[in-house]
Amino acid sequence: MTLDDLWFLATQAEQHAEQAYHRLTDAYTRFLEFDRTYEVSRYRFRTLAQRVSETGAPYGAHTVVYRPSGEMLLVWHEGVDMWVLPGGGVHDGESYRETAERELSEEAGVEADYEGLAIATRTSIRCGDYSTWGVLPVFQARAETTTPTVDDPDGEITDARWFDEPPANTRDREQLVAWQDDRFSSRG
């Protein structure tokens, strides 16, 4: 791929991201919105831009699962050495919600009732003079008392637990705390 091809891929990805973002946010009414920026290597930029070009989402779709008590389910991701929300890459023909449900089943084995979109993050990706962006959809789902069971085919997820609040070593912790505050302050 030449440098001009990389610019073309980034532009194509941005157009697909715009369409995907609007389809997603037009379909739901109440959710939090955030912006994130990542500086990545040229190789990683190409990989993420290709994903966005194909699906609109560089990091797939995720689920914030909670119990009525307010506890949140997180999974341990060996590759990033952090607690994260269950989620992952979009397969051909899957909607974001179908992706989130499949990933939740694989990574935590928890059954949950999906309630809608919790968070939509516009994720900017930069490498030198190249930039593009994609959407990171996070759905919310309610689970009754359930013991998580990890059965991740990729082997990246090695643990799943319920937390009253996200530990310090949780990816996107500020967003999750904001979601918890928003979600549970409206319970009265």
Domain range holding 31?
Answer: 3-181
| pTM listed for this prediction | 0.91
Is 142 a domain residue? yes
Tally of structural domains, the chain: 1
Phi-psi region of 33 (alpha: psi -120 to 50; beta: other; left: phi over 0): beta
pLDDT for res 2: 53
Question: Among 122, 121, 124, 129, which Cα is nearest to 38's?
Answer: 124
pLDDT for res 188: 44
Is 186 a domain residue? no
Strands 87-88 and 82-84: unpaired
Is 188 a domain residue? no
- Count of CB atoms situated within 10 Å of the CB of 136: 23
For the chain, helix, strand, coil in percent to 5 are 35, 30, 35
Is 187 a domain residue? no
Strands 72-77 and 82-84: antiparallel
Is 28 a domain residue? yes
pLDDT for res 3: 54
Task: List the CATH number of the domain containing 114.
Answer: 3.90.79.10
- Count of CB atoms situated within 10 Å of the CB of 135: 26
pLDDT for res 183: 79
Is 35 a domain residue? yes
Is 155 a domain residue? yes
Is 165 a domain residue? yes
Per-residue pLDDT of the chain in tens (188 residues, 90 and over written 9)? 555 799 999 999 999 999 999 999 999 999 999 999 999 999 999 999 999 999 999 999 999 999 988 899 999 999 899 999 999 999 999 999 999 999 999 999 998 999 999 999 999 999 999 999 999 999 999 997 688 999 888 889 999 999 999 999 999 999 999 998 887 775 44
Question: Among 17, 38, 35, 6, which Cα is nearest to 133's?
Answer: 17
